[in-house]
Amino acid sequence: MVTSAHEGMHRVFEERPEILAPVFEALGIAFPEKAATYAVTADVTETRPLARHVDTVLRIEPSDGDDFLLAIEAQERRDNDKSASWPYYVAYLQSKYQLPVLLLVVCRDLPTARWATGPFECGTRGWTAQRTYPLVVGPDNLPVITDARTAAEKPALAAFSALTHANTPVGDAILDALGNALPQMPTHAALYIGQFLDSALGATPAGDKWRNIVSFVNFFPGRGTLLERTYLEGEAKGEAKGEARGEAKGVLRVLEVRGIPIPDDIRKRVTTCTDPARVSDWLDRAGTVERAEDLFADIPDIPEAPEQR
């Protein structure tokens, strides 16, 4: 599993190669409909004193064409040293494997993406000996997925979109779409998406938002279902009143994650309730009701416990 945004931006292609086709489509380049994909060693070191490593290298074996290599680099900022190392990667891999090589650079901001398109040239006195043109994906050309249905159908691409757009104004909308899509995904896909974004987004505002979303989703591997629950806030432990308020927030959050509108009167009724038994009933229902009003349907009137003074 990835441990940083940089690693996630290239490792996702190795772990979820199905996103290659839509990414190439965004670049306007045809990608084979059927192809086998294998990870290749990313070490391109020739001498001990100078170690070089491509972030990720994939061997693509199309069913209807010749094999080629795809070298993938995650680039967080402009780095003038890449004008020499990227051409080296391409030349070395081509020489070692005797296969055509494409270089894909993944960026998370527009200035870096514009710079990364190159071309990067090697030459002098009016003559160019080598010219490198990377393929570049970033916030300007990667699809923005803010629809929960699309996110459920293409979870890996949606997660990659969320990571790439994490620092843009649409980042929160993508995370909300993924949160709403989690209950619609197969368990294994939902688990991967949850863990991938948790580690890749890290200690950032986008990471905090994502952890707030998934903290109300509980996975049960093997059942093929997702049950939405909440956990008590730390400061509410041990206090009945605090417990009720903690779970009341969970009731509202589960409804929000499921995209169910919450009228003001219902929001007030839930948040002002201090009886743990009553709020627990609402929490049990929050994962299945179709309307917020259904929380209170056919529920016995449980008297509220008096406040302790």
Q: Tell me which residue has tokens 């090589």.
A: 101
Does residue 117 carry a pLDDT above 70? Answer: yes
Res 221 pLDDT > 70: no
**308 has pLDDT over 90:** no
Of 240 and 249, which is predicted with more confidence? 249
**Is the Cα dihedral 11, 15, 19, 21 positive or negative?**
positive
Check whether 296 has a pLDDT greater than 50. yes
- The token pair at 35 is 């192809």
- Whether the full predicted model's pTM is greater than 0.95, yes or no, is no
Cα 191 to Cα 144, 156, 219: the distances in Å are 22, 11, 7
b vs e for 189-223, b when ≥16 Cβ sit within 10 Å of the residue's Cβ? Answer: bbebbbebbebbbbeeebbebbeebbebbeeeeee
User: Domain residues of the chain, as ranges?
Assistant: 5-137, 148-228, 234-296
* More confident: 67 or 276: 67
Going by pLDDT thresholds of 50, 70 and 90, the confidence category of residue 290 is: confident
**Tokens, residue 1:** 């599993």
Q: What CATH number belongs to 5-137?
A: 3.40.1350
Banded model confidence at residue 87, pLDDT cuts 50, 70, 90: very high
> In the prediction, which pLDDT does 98 show?
93
pLDDT at residue number 114: 93
**Averaged confidence pLDDT in the chain:** 78
175-206 pLDDT tens trace: 999 888 888 888 778 878 888 888 888 888 88
Q: Given pLDDT bands bounded at 50, 70 and 90, which one contains residue 133?
A: very high
Each residue's pLDDT tens digit, 5-59: 777 777 777 778 888 888 888 888 888 878 887 777 555 555 444 456 788 888 9
Which CA distances in Å does 257 have to 37, 99, 145, 251, 284? 35, 47, 16, 10, 15
Model confidence over 99-116: pLDDT tens digits? 999 999 999 889 999 999
- Measured CA to CA, the distance from residue 124 to residue 133 in angstroms comes to 18
pLDDT of residue 94: 92
Q: What angle do CA 264, 270, 273 make, to 5 degrees?
A: 135
The pLDDT of residue 173 is: 92
User: What's the pLDDT at 298?
Assistant: 64
212-216, 239-243, 252-256, range with the lowest pLDDT: 239-243
- Residue 86 pLDDT: 93
